[in-house]
Structure 1
Amino acid sequence: MLLHLSLKMNLPGNFLQRTFPNYLKWCMILILVPFLTGKLLAQPAVEWDKLQTLTPGFGPYPTVACQTTDGGVMIGLAAGGNAGSKYFILKLDRKGNKEWEKTYGGNKDDELKSVIQTSDGGYLIGGQSDSDAGGDKSDSAYSISTDYWIIKITADGTKQWDKTYGGTGSDNLGTAIQTYDGGYLVGGLSTSPANGIKTENSFGESDCWLIKLDANGNKQWDKTLGGSLRDDVSSIIQVPDGSFIIGCNSDSEISGNKTAGSKGSYDYWIVKLSASGIKQWDKTYGGNGFDSNPIIVQTEDNGYLLAGDSWSDAGEYKSAPGFGYYDLWIVKINSEGEKQWDKSYGGNDPDLIQSIQPTPDGGFLIGMVYYSDLGDTKADPTRDLDDNWIIKIDANGTKLWDKNIGGSPRSVSTLAGVFTTSDGGYLTTGNSYSNNIGGDKTEVGQGVWTVKLLAESNDKKLAFSTDSLDFALSSIPTDSTRNAILSANTGSPEVTFRKSAADWLDLPLPALDTLPFTVTTSGIASGQYSSVVAATAPGYARALLKINLNVNEVSMPPVLSPVGDKVLLPGGTLRFTATATTGFGQTTTFSVLNAPAGAVIDAVTGAFNWTAPWETGSYQLTIRVGVAGSPNLYDEELITVRVVEPANFPAIRINAGGKDFTTADGRVFMADTFFVGNTRTSTVKDIDIVNTQDDELYRSSRCDRYFSYRIPVQSGIYKVTLHFAEVFWGVYPGKPGNVSSRLFDVAAERASKLNFYSIIQKAGGPLRAVTESFEVKVTDGFLDLDFDYADADLAKVAAIEVEVISPLTEFSIGPVADAYVRHGNNSQTNYGLEQTIDLKATTKAELARAAYIKFSLASLSEITSAKLRIYGRNYEGTNLIRVGLTGIDNDSWSETGITASNAPTGFSTFLGSFDINDQKHRPRFFEVDITEYAKAQLAQDKMLTLMLADRGETNKRATFNSRENAVNPPELIIITSGPITPTARIAHTPVLTKTDNKTENELTASTIYPNPVQKHFTVQIGNQHQDNISLQLINAAGRSYPVKTNEELHAGSKAEADVSGLSLSKGIYLLKVQSSKTSEVLKVLITE
């Protein structure tokens, strides 16, 4: 036999700070023990799942459920609507099919909280209501707050009677049971004093209120339980002697009729009442935090099991540890309420109990909504955001198995209840919020989701020969068929097929056989489709087959989004990104035809870049988008770019808060655009504005406490004119027009331009036009204007004008030298020709690295702004690496001569830092502004040296592409208003790019040395390899030997390999360099 042992260590944690990682792992041990007679319980398999969509407007999701005597389920929820929520119940048969549904409601909000089946085959449903008499509700409300509202219905949902119970406060039902005498006991929360039908005064902010009813809903007695704070009922059971065990939530100390003291913020409070409602004893169970919602079941030894939610640590009163924000906490007590043991199960996020039910073998079945993404006590992985978590425990609380039931990734599934079935299996029901198939869900749509599980001892199953069938077809109508084999591991069951919505898929007749599955593209658009075929048979675990269909567009050309004609200043840079609408399966390629010198477009991204010449004129070019592999499918646009003097450059004019408007002198203001933040505007009509002929321009405005405009412009110096008029203060009665009625600030490019600005003061009164103008330098492609409330009312602006004064030009300068240095034993080694420059701060000198970059500024006469742009990643670990950038006033080093022993020293200036913190080691660009330092170096020797180093001893390596790397080398981005010499290159003007666009001559091969090889050799990886690089030696007989290196390999890296531990004979071997995209073979002669 197999014995399953699980070992777990738990560390105590602070109740408010239980966020330590899941480093306490399960140990799973399988030991052969021949003399054992027990048998492990396997996790039950899914037999089928079924989705029932709800009537539109119903929801949010099932909150309660009960099992019915016919093996089906009754589900209850609150149905939302314009007239308020209603009670909604849905009856399902034992196969998950809908039998009927009913809605009950009054004239306001009615929230269903309990559904039970009664001994006559009908149902008692209840909740809380603030409705008056009307609709399905017979009694008026006792107050403007909520009351208990109970409805008795027949087996087909016909109402027999309804009753309202309440006082002058809020009375919210929690649960209800049928009693041995055919009546009912209902309980919940009450804030009412003794009035209405409530006979006892309240004890605290809220109390437990129980009402005993006869079979017709007439009150027999009521009981209030509570202390000085908040108490409410969560569950009730009746025991064989006729008494009642009440499960409550409580944060009260000893007070009222509560004699058990508080253990934490909230506790389980268990009260025993006699059959006539007399309290016999009460007990409190809890830890140092929140413990709530206990559900009670009686055990075979006449004790009780309490199962609820806990956010408490292990301590004096709670021995079970906490795992996350809320866990399942089970407490076993005897018939007198004395605690015997407790257990907890959970993960790192809230895991909330929904139901618990005894099982025929003396154990218990627990259903939960599981929010955690991991768990110390959870063996089955999470499938979506919220899952249904089913746990089976034995009589001692030991977990026998657990199962996670969920839909597709990022979906939400909630549980209402889980029940045992007559065949030894289990039935779960709840809600799926996912429209998609995936995980355990095989039907499309949202709604009530029921899943049938087999008995854990049932190992009969169906199986397809493959998990999926993949079809890739063109948009030209066609059919295609692929086969899959369906088999059963035992017997010859009668099989049923069901597919998720897919008109394009034809199913074969269900059978255990080789089966054809046919798809057709006739009548469907190009795109990606999928369907799940579920093969089911009674008493068998189902088999799922996913059918994936890609319909690729082959006849429709892409559609290029309009680019439009452009206007540039001399030396200005035109940038835009061309986009296109394409059919599914099409790969677009962008190109530029008849391009002026220097104009390029990225073939993949569509990013266009061209720096205009200093001469004015018109230039025409064609932007084309095509489909890779289909030269006849393309779209294109001819655009004209005019290069004009600043005086002729069109101004940008915006009618803030208004529509397109042309002034009396012909200036055209476009409708409000480029604003950021709230969409609040104001408009007045038929009011004359003084000091202007363009009254309409000032009648609309954008106004709010805070708002901004982000206007796309070329780098340059601009004149900004803002238009204002006060059309509120001093205009309407009761709104005096004081100079301090409206005060606000205006900033441009984060520089203050107007402070505590008063329109009335500047204009000389309300209804008077006034303008304010100032100059702004823009270097990042966007003019940012910020309007902020200063001291009174809202900031506002009526119109904005932006006129160019002079252009600025952006350039990219590549380094003339870069290298990294290593210390310790490597301090005399030069690393100037590597494809990366590396950093590492560590206490081990031989592992420490720093990098140097040198730029020449000789081509520049003026610098407006300068920033270093560098491309790299954290090469080791996931620690944050803070990279510091320092300027060193010593340029007397060379790329091939620099080492750690002669690295430049001298006067240094710290320039800034940036953080690398990508756990997936993905490279990206980093930028640091070095404007002032670059200006200082330009004024001196026109050379600039930068040092990069890890500012902390993280002992983790960072790498950046060097100038030897063909991809994203370092660059200095310069914006200048002065002339440049041809040696500088315009920023962002790479050659026309496309995926893997290197020619064969541009790819560098890997090399090894020395060759012949004895025990060690050094390998340098060529740039054709990028990641996931491995090495292996292959002898003449084809046997391979994996080769390990002293560091991870990447393009351009140089690493040492030790082959002394391999059993190699002398002779010629092939060294295979394998990466994710390609492989390469080199000859190696082994001499020892």
Structure 2
Amino acid sequence: MHLHLSAHNPLPKNCFHRTFLKYLKPYMIFILAAFFTGNLLAQPAVEWDKLQTLSENFGPYVRVACPTADGGLLVGLYPQSNVGSNYFIVKLDSKGNKEWEKTYGGNKEDELQSVIPTSDGGYLIGGQSDSDASGDKTDSAYSISTDYWIIKITADGTKQWDKTYGGTGTDNLATAIQTSDGGYLIGGLSSSPANGIKSENSYGEFDYWVIKLDANGNKQWDKTLGGSLRDRVSSLIQAPDGGFIVAGESDSEIGGNKTADSKGSYDYWIVKLSASGTKLWDKTYGGRYFDRDPIITRTEDNGFLLAGISSSEVEGDKTAPVFGDYDVWVVKINSEGEKLWDKSYGGSDFDLIKSIQPTSDGGYLIGGIGGTSLSDPHTDPELQGYGFWAVKIDASGSKIWDRNIGGGIVELAGAFPTSDGGYFLTGHALTDNVEGGKTEYGQGIWTVKLLSESNDRKLTFSPGALDFTLPNMPADSSRIANLSASTGSPDISLRKSAAKWPDLPSPALGSLAFHVNTEGFAPGRYISVISATAPGYARALLKVNLTVNEVTNPPVLSPIGNKLLQPGEILKFTADATAGFGQTKIFSLVNAPAGAAIDASTGAFSWNTPWESGTYQFNVRVSIAGFPNLYDEETITVILKLTDPADVPAIRINAGGDDFTTADGRVFQADAFFNGRRTSFVGQVDILNTPDDDLYRNTRSDDSFSYDIPVQTGVYKVTLHFAEIYWGVFPNRPAIDIRRKFNVEAEGQIKLDNYSILRKAGAPLTAVTETFEVDVRDGFLSLYFRKNADRASVAAIEVEFIKPLVELSTKPVADAYIRFGSSSQTNFGLEQTIDLKANTNADYDRAAYMKFSLAGLSSINSARIRIYGRNYEGSKTVQVGLTGIDNDNWTETGITASNAPTGTSVFLGKFNSMRKARFYEIDITDFAKSQLAQDKTLTLILADMFAANNRVIFNSRENAVNPPELIVTTTEPVISSARMAESETADDAEKETESSIIYPNPVKDRFTIRVGSRHQNAIGLSLVSETGNMIPIGTPEGLHAGSVSDIDISRFRLPAGIYLLHVQSASNSETLKVLLAN
């Protein structure tokens, strides 16, 4: 936007728009960095800001603005969509308050582009329209496309007359000025030939089209200017000799009216016309890339400044450096269009210009849109995002100062000098918050008044913020802030951003009491900004923070439900509850059984249940810190019952087939719980070695496939049924046993290796079975079939429960780390961590020892060590090795590097320790079994395998958070009333979050899952019904440890009952029961 001030008329001659969104392209963040600078003065301070909210369906985007004769502003707006748009005009007074608003339009789309003041105190507004004669529009359209449409209005917005100008093509108005004879010059782009009101043919796709009008809007002459491609007017000005300068952008080569080739993609192109419209000369300025939308203004030496945007490097006419994607580029020319100098202003990304205006001191004020980042040295720290940007330059183009105001979504329409030496910045704010200097909530026209840069008078609040923390029951409180002035005793005004609060004191300098009453406030956090202003003083802002805490309503405990477990099994769950704002939840147990514990802050519950069958009851309670009378609780019934294999029905699946009942009455359900694509079948042929031919005629057969069969924890007998129904059955398919070979894995262990059905059966079309046992700990029996030759195949699957499997957990009876070199005699047994490091300097070398007791165990099905730690000294990974040693002769407080045990050792596994702390697990089943058969004690050593020279730390047993664990599964009870000697009864918060939880439970249409930390990435969810049907609930993207995701199952219309939610990741799997209610 440019407003030209002439010596004859103190009012601006022109104001017009810059369409911000046109230049956004993919860019949505603006960063303002250091500028090319001259001698810098202090930034002008903010005197006041004002938000003017708009009527419904009015605007809301400010496109154009200009100053008015009474010291106010006229603002033109456009809607979010051009559909049904009109010209929207708002008149603001000198304080930013709305005086009136008007809408002008026809029956179609009317888009405002220009507003200017006129010498009679009114205004000329204009843009383009495709409306017919209707509403405020007097003339019919010249074509089905757009025409220029201008309206002359009085000082109070009353329409005086309107005019339409156009041809048979597209004609879009960009700008207008009032001329010295009281008429007008308007300009824009046109694709119309000579017809309608247009007297000259077009030269390219779009041309400059300028029209000279008399004071009543009657055409006096028009002129088409252009080359072979696209040319668009962006600015007009009357020269001192009565002629006109037409400025715009062009990508045309020589041709038509254009006498110079294009210098880049787009260039500045200016044309000098005589007072009667005769072309006198034209000039092109540019670099290699884009130089666009110049705004022209007069200089005191009768030359001109062209200010637009540029992405060009130093080349061609551009000698100023490029700072970002687009910068403001100013070119100084003399009265004949000869370039005198050029300057660039900008940041590291993208900056736009909206206006340039002469100032009373001979300089110029540039208004634009810019942004900021924390690295920018010449921007306001209050600005976040992009906002109003004002730059003051002197007559030679050196920057005097720049200022950013705003944050969130704001866009400047123009920056204008004021009569008191200050400046107006106006545009729109589309963010509701108070931020970046904006002190009122809401959206609308936002105007900022800046003081003169030489004015250092200011108001100050001390302190700059007040904090209130109050309960939601009616409560009163006051805080004191002192308001001072740097000089004098000005008249003070106080304004608050929040209408309801706080209560404002009488405006004055000195000690001020601000009062808050929370009656009617919902719990939450609130912010109000108090603005203290005085004429001619920089404002003072006081931020008031209010926290309203809930103290009247109790928390609500999410349902936990009753539990059925095997005797000796560990019961773990995490209680959850919703609490009001500001409430701190405390979890506790009432009538807890021996050994049961719950983390007070996280709700993580753990209980090593007794080996005796029985029923136990206790309450889980959640209360509020400081308000013990606000609580909720649930009675939990835990039934410990040893599962009788006879009570667990076998699961039988007809792979690739339908429901089938064998001759002896066994029922096989239709194929279920599979992940695969292909099946095979053979016709009505006899299958040898079985009376159940149909069971073997259909198979699941593919390169690879899997089954995830929902079962309870335990030991299972798995029987797989096979028959070769392809090789040796069809022509040219010989019965050679190597033709089909495959592997079968159960729970990650190979059970059938390179298996050949023909080799086992001896002939095709012959039934055979394979049987094996497998331990299942995660609620799903996982079977995986993978081909070695041809396709893997299975005809049927039987799963039969043998006996329960119980998982136990214990921490070390001792752990310590040792250091070599000068510390070889020092014990490090009572530290919070166990450390390791490998270095060429022995003084830095460390290794860690852990000892576990297996007392009370009579058998081990599996064992794994779990530790928690990280690479403490670097970002690279460190490969850590775990070794078992057959020597337990050491103590926690006695071990040193000089006496550490030695003996027969076995390497157990390795893992890569990362920078971020996490859990690591290694299977040590065989070593644990061997130690159980000996002294029922095992010692483990942790060490850096490859001298990474990085210290790695793991939490020790002395650490309250995530100590080491030995996790054992067994089918036999503990051989004494004492549990494994060092088993913990209370786990820490972070450890317990390893288990995923769902809530609410029971579920209706949706539930929320919080993924436990045992899962790192590659997480998948599957929901399985009691009948084994898989429900395709889908897995949300980006699911990871700690994720909270909402799952909607309403679309499946599932019947009530118990379902199993299977959570599978690269590192672990678990099963959660889901109770679906009606």
TM-score using structure 2 length: 0.65
Name the CA distance, whole Å, in 2 between partners of 1:82 and 1:163: 21
Match of 2:162 in 1: 162
Evaluate the alpha carbon distance shift between residue 991 and residue 374 of structure 1 in structure 2; reply closer, same or farther with a 3 A threshold. Answer: closer
Match of 2:391 in 1: 391
Q: Distance in 2 between matches of 1:581 and 1:381?
A: 37
Aligned to 1:326: 326
Identity rate, percent: 59
1:175-216 C-alpha deviation (Å, 9 max, x unpaired): 222233333333334445555544555444444443433333
Query: Which aligned pairs between 1:185-264 and structure 2 lie closer than 5 A?
Result: 185-264=185-264
**Residues 853 and 348 (structure 1 numbering): CA distance in 2 closer, same or farther, change over 3 Å?**
farther
> In the aligned structure 2, how far is the partner of 1:229 from the partner of 1:831?
81
Retained in 2: the 8 A contact 1:384–1:412? no
Alignment of 1:984-1003 (within 5 A): 989-990=986-987
Distance 1:375 1:202, change over 3 A: farther
- The code of the aligned residue for 2:237 comes to I
8 Å Cα contact 2:31/2:373 also seen in 1? no
Amino acid paired to 2:105: G
Contact 2:406 / 2:438 at 8 angstroms: preserved in 1? yes
Is the Cα–Cα contact under 8 Å of residues 836 and 942 in structure 2 kept in the other structure? no
Tell me if structure 2 keeps the 8 A contact 1:421–1:427. Answer: yes
Q: Residues 944, 149 of structure 1: CA spacing in aligned structure 2 closer, same or farther, 3 A cutoff?
A: farther
**1:99 Cα deviation after fit:** 0.2
Counterpart CA distance in 1 for 2:83 and 2:504 is 45
Cα distance, 1:54 vs. partner? 1.2
Query: Partner of 1:506: helix, strand, or coil?
Result: coil
Contact 1:350 / 1:372 at 8 angstroms: preserved in 2?
Answer: no
> Which of 424, 427, 430 matches 1:427?
424
Which amino acid is 1:184 matched to? Y
1:78–1:110 CA contact under 8 A, matched in 2: no
**Inter-CA distance 221–522: structure 2 relative to 1 (3 Å threshold):** same
Pairing 1:593-612 to 2, within 5 Å after superposition: 593-610=590-607
Deviation at 1:73, TM superposition (A): 0.7
- Tell me if structure 1 keeps the 8 A contact 2:913–2:952: no
CA distance in 1, matches of 2:748, 2:291: 51
Partner secondary structure for residue 322 of structure 2: coil
Match of 1:628 in 2: 625
The match for 1:966 among 949, 956, 959 is 959
Note if 1:115 corresponds to 2:108: no
Q: Report the AA paired with residue 956 of structure 2.
A: R
- Report what 2:487 is aligned to: 490
| Distance in structure 2 (CA, Å) of the matches to 1:324 and 1:805 | 72
- The reply on whether 1:457 has 2:481 as its aligned counterpart is no
- Kept in 2: contact 1:80–1:86 (CA 8 A): no
Selected match of 1:537 from 534, 539, 546: 534
Q: Which residue of 1 aligns with 2:478?
A: 481
Where relative contact order (Cα < 8 A, 6+ residues apart) is larger, the structure is 2
Q: Which residue of 2 aligns with 1:926?
A: 918
Match of 2:348 in 1: 348
Q: Does 1:515 align with 2:512?
A: yes
- Give 1:424 shift: 0.6
Partners of 2:244 and 2:904 in 1: CA distance: 85
Structure 1 contact 857–943 (Cα < 8 Å) conserved: no
Change (3 A) 1:256 1:547: same
Cα distance in 2 for residues equivalent to 1:442 and 1:449 = 10
1:403, 1:233 → 2: CA distance?
A: 29
SS at match of 1:550: strand
Q: For structure 1, which segment, 421-430 or 541-550, has the greater mean C-alpha deviation from structure 2 after superposition?
A: 541-550
Report how far residue 72 of structure 1 moved: 0.5
Q: 1:197 to 1:887 in 2, by over 3 A?
A: farther
The aligned residue for residue 885 of structure 1 is: 879
Shift of 1:481: 3.4
Q: How far does residue 96 in structure 1 lie from its aligned partner after superposition? A: 0.7
Cα deviation per residue 1:516-559 (whole Å; 9 max; x = unaligned)? 33333344444433322222221122222333333444444333
Separation in 1 of the partners of 2:853 and 2:265? 67
SS in 2 for 1:412: strand
Once the two structures are superposed, the pairs formed by residues 27-38 of structure 1 within 5 Å of their partners are none
Partner amino acid for 2:876?
R
Q: What is the rounded CA distance, in whole Å, between the counterparts of 1:52 and 1:23 in structure 2?
A: 27
- CA distance in structure 2 between the aligned counterparts of 1:565 and 1:987, rounded to whole angstroms: 23
Between the aligned partners of 1:289 and 1:980, the Cα distance in structure 2 is 81
The structural deviation recorded for 1:359 is 0.6
Deviations 1:118-159 (A, max 9, x none): 222222222333434433333444444444332222221122
Q: Please say if residues 604 and 989 of structure 2, whose CA atoms lie closer than 8 Å, have aligned partners that are also in contact.
A: no
Query: Counterpart of 1:593 in structure 2: which amino acid?
Result: V
CA gap of 1:825–1:610, structure 2 versus 1, over 3 A, is closer
Matches within 5 A, 1:579-590: 579-590=576-587
Q: Report how far residue 973 of structure 1 moved.
A: 8.5
Are 2:273 and 1:273 aligned?
Answer: yes
Q: Does 1:547 align with 2:544?
A: yes
- The corresponding residue for 2:306 is 306
Equivalent runs, 1:614-763 vs 2, <5 Å:
618-642=615-639, 645=643
Separation in 1 of the partners of 2:636 and 2:261? 82
Would you say 1:500 and 2:497 are equivalent positions? yes
1:48 offset after TM fit, Å?
A: 1.3
Cα 1:267–1:504 shift into 2, 3 Å: same
Q: How far 1:429 sits from its partner (Å)?
A: 1.1
SS at match of 2:876: strand
Structure 1 pair 205/784, CA: closer, same or farther in 2 (3 Å)? farther
Tell me the equivalent position of 2:91. Answer: 91
Q: Distance in 2 between matches of 1:463 and 1:875?
A: 47
Stretch deviating more after TM superposition (193-202 or 829-838): 829-838
Preserved CA contact (<8 Å) 1:60 1:80: yes
Q: Residue 172 of structure 1 aligns to which amino acid in structure 2?
A: N
Consecutive unaligned residues in structure 2, runs of 5 or more: 1-24, 652-707, 718-745, 750-772, 784-798, 932-937, 993-1078
Q: Give structure 1 stretches of 5+ with no counterpart.
A: 1-15, 30-38, 653-709, 720-747, 752-774, 786-801, 917-923, 996-1088
**In structure 1, what is the equivalent of residue 71 of structure 2?**
71
- What TM-score do you get using the length of structure 1 for normalisation? 0.65
The residue type equivalent to 1:155 in the other structure is A
Cα offset, 1:93, TM superposition = 0.3
One-letter identity of the residue aligned with 2:318: K
- Cα distance change, pair 964–606 in 1 and its aligned pair in 2 (3 A): closer
SS in 1 for 2:62: coil
Is residue 339 from structure 1 mapped to residue 339 from structure 2 by the alignment?
Answer: yes
CA RMSD, aligned part only? 5.2
- Provide closer, same or farther for how the CA distance between residues 600 and 50 of structure 1 changes in structure 2, counting only shifts above 3 A: same
Tell me if the contact between 1:600 and 1:992 (Cα under 8 Å) persists in the aligned partners: no
Name the SS for the 2:466 alignment partner.
strand
Offset, 1:78 = 0.9
Partner of 2:131: 131
CA separation of 1:542/1:947 partners in 2, compared to 1, >3 Å: closer, same or farther? Answer: same
Other-structure match for 1:754: none
- 1:374, 1:382 within 8 Å by CA — same for their partners in 2? no
Q: Is the 8 A contact 2:531 2:541 kept in 1?
A: yes
Structure 1 Cα separation of the partners of residues 447 and 782 of structure 2: 55
Structure 1 residues 555 and 259: alpha-carbon distance in aligned structure 2, compared to 1, 3 A threshold: same
Q: Go from structure 1 to structure 2 and tell me whether the alpha carbon gap of 1:509 and 1:848 turns closer, same or farther (over 3 Å shift).
A: same
Quick one: which amino acid aligns to residue 968 of structure 1?
V
Q: How does 1:934-1083 map to 2 (within 5 A)?
A: 947=943, 960-963=953-956, 966-969=959-962, 971=964, 983=980, 989-990=986-987
Distance 1:627 1:180, change over 3 A: same
Partner of 1:870: 868
Worse overlay, 938-947 or 618-627 = 938-947
